[in-house]
Amino acid sequence: MAQTPAKIPAALNFIDVDLGVTGMTCTSCSARVERKLNKLDGVEATVNYATESAQVSYDPSKVSPEQLIKTVEDTGYGAFTMASAAAESEEDNAPADSGQSRIDAARDHEAADLKHRVIVSALLSVPVVLVSMIPALQFNNWQWAVLTLVTPIFFWGGSPFHKATWANLKHGSFTMDTLVSLGTSAAYLWSLWALFIGNAGHPGMKMEMHLLPSTSTMDEIYLETVAVVITFLLLGRWFETKAKGQSSEALRKLLDMGAKDAVVLRDGAEVRVPVNQLKLGDVFITRPGEKIATDGEVVEGSSAVDESMLTGESIPVEVTKGSKVTGATLNTSGRLMVKVTRIGADTTLSQMAKLVTDAQSKKAPVQRLVDQISQVFVPVVIVIAIATLIAHLVFTDAGLAPAFTAAVAVLIIACPCALGLATPTALLVGTGRGAQLGLLIKGPEILESTKKVDTIVLDKTGTVTTGTMSVTDVTAINYSETEILEFAAAVESASEHPIAQAIAKATDHEQVTDFQNTAGQGVTGVVRGHEVRVGRPSSTLIDALLHPFQHAQKIGGTPVVVTIDGVDSGIITVRDTVKDTSAEAIRGLKELGLTPILLTGDNEGAAKSVAAEVGIDQVIANVLPHEKVQNVEALQAQGKNVAMVGDGVNDAAALAQADLGLAMGAGTDVAIEASDITLMNNDLRSAVDAIRLSRKTLGTIKGNLFWAFAYNVALIPVAAIGLLNPMLAGIAMAFSSVFVVSNSLRLRGFKARSN
CA 153/CA 125 separation, integer angstroms: 8
Report DSSP letters for 156-172, one per residue. IITHHHHHHHHHHHHTT
Whether the per-residue pLDDT at 474 is higher than 80: the answer is yes
Whether the per-residue pLDDT at 96 is higher than 50: the answer is no
CA 742/CA 739 separation, integer angstroms: 5
Query: What was the pLDDT predicted at 208?
Result: 65
Q: Taking all residues of the chain, what is their mean pLDDT, rounded to a whole number?
A: 79
Q: What is the pLDDT of residues 274-294, one digit of tens each?
A: 887 888 888 898 888 888 888
Report DSSP letters for 684-699, one per residue. THHHHHHHHHHHHHHH
CB 665 within 8 A of CB 681: yes
Whether the per-residue pLDDT at 89 is higher than 60: the answer is no
Query: What was the pLDDT predicted at 354?
Result: 62
Query: What was the pLDDT predicted at 586?
Result: 94
Average pLDDT, integer, range 99-115 = 75
CA 430/CA 436 separation, integer angstroms: 10
Q: Which tops the pLDDT comparison, 334 or 139?
A: 139
User: Side-chain half-sphere of 65: how many Cα atoms within 13 Å?
Assistant: 13
Q: What is the pLDDT of residues 25-58, one digit of tens each?
A: 666 677 788 888 988 888 888 887 766 778 888 8
Q: Which residues pair with 470 in a beta bridge?
A: 575
Query: What was the pLDDT predicted at 122?
Result: 92
Q: Which is it for strands 53-58 and 15-22: parallel, antiparallel or unpaired? A: antiparallel
CB 600 within 8 A of CB 621: yes
Confidence of residue 214 (pLDDT cuts 50, 70, 90): low
Confidence of residue 230 (pLDDT cuts 50, 70, 90): confident
Confidence of residue 433 (pLDDT cuts 50, 70, 90): confident
Query: What was the pLDDT predicted at 90?
Result: 43
Q: Which tops the pLDDT comparison, 663 or 415?
A: 663
Confidence of residue 218 (pLDDT cuts 50, 70, 90): low
Find the angle CA(687)-CA(689)-CA(691) to the nearest 5 degrees. Answer: 70
Confidence of residue 730 (pLDDT cuts 50, 70, 90): low
Order of all β-strands in the sheet with 269-274? 269-274, 261-266, 283-286, 336-340, 296-300, 324-325
CA 140/CA 125 separation, integer angstroms: 19
Query: What was the pLDDT predicted at 248?
Result: 47
CB 142 within 8 A of CB 2: no
Measured from the Cβ of residue 390, the count of other Cβ atoms closer than 10 Å reads 12
Query: What was the pLDDT predicted at 704?
Result: 81
Residue type, 132: S
Query: What was the pLDDT predicted at 601?
Result: 79
What is the number of residues in the chain? 755
Average pLDDT, integer, range 189-210 = 81
4: left (phi over 0), alpha (psi -120 to 50) or beta: alpha
Q: What is the pLDDT of residues 660-709, one digit of tens each?
A: 888 886 655 666 666 778 787 778 888 899 889 888 888 888 888 787 77
Residues with Cβ within 8 Å of 482's Cβ and at least 6 positions away in sequence, in order, are 507
568: part of which helix (H) or strand (E)? strand 567-578
SS3 label, residue 3: coil
Average pLDDT, integer, range 609-625 = 88
CA 503/CA 506 separation, integer angstroms: 5
Whether the per-residue pLDDT at 323 is higher than 50: the answer is yes
Confidence of residue 616 (pLDDT cuts 50, 70, 90): very high
Query: What was the pLDDT predicted at 420?
Result: 61
Q: Which tops the pLDDT comparison, 421 or 478?
A: 478
Average pLDDT, integer, range 364-387 = 70
Sign of dihedral through CA atoms 311, 313, 314, 316? negative
Query: Where is average pLDDT lowest: 393-407, 463-477, 505-519?
Result: 393-407
Whether the per-residue pLDDT at 167 is higher than 80: the answer is no
CA 159/CA 165 separation, integer angstroms: 10
CA 696/CA 191 separation, integer angstroms: 41
Average pLDDT, integer, range 246-261 = 59
SS3 label, residue 416: coil
Query: Where is average pLDDT lowest: 40-49, 174-183, 376-385?
Result: 174-183
Residues with Cβ within 8 Å of 439's Cβ and at least 6 positions away in sequence, in order, are 677, 678, 679, 680, 686, 689, 690, 693, 752
Query: What was the pLDDT predicted at 145?
Result: 94
Report DSSP letters for 274-338, one per residue. EGGG--TT-EEEE-TTPBP-SSEEEEE--EEEE-HHHH--SSPEEE-TT-EE-TT-EE-SS-EEE
CA 367/CA 344 separation, integer angstroms: 37
Average pLDDT, integer, range 419-429 = 71
Q: Which tops the pLDDT comparison, 404 or 319?
A: 319
Residue numbers annotated as active site: 459
Confidence of residue 9 (pLDDT cuts 50, 70, 90): very low
Measured from the Cβ of residue 398, the count of other Cβ atoms closer than 10 Å reads 14
Whether the per-residue pLDDT at 612 is higher than 60: the answer is yes
Q: Which tops the pLDDT comparison, 205 or 588?
A: 588
CA 401/CA 735 separation, integer angstroms: 29
Q: Which tops the pLDDT comparison, 212 or 747?
A: 747
Measured from the Cβ of residue 121, the count of other Cβ atoms closer than 10 Å reads 25
Q: Which is it for strands 618-620 and 595-599: parallel, antiparallel or unpaired? A: parallel
CB 662 within 8 A of CB 671: no
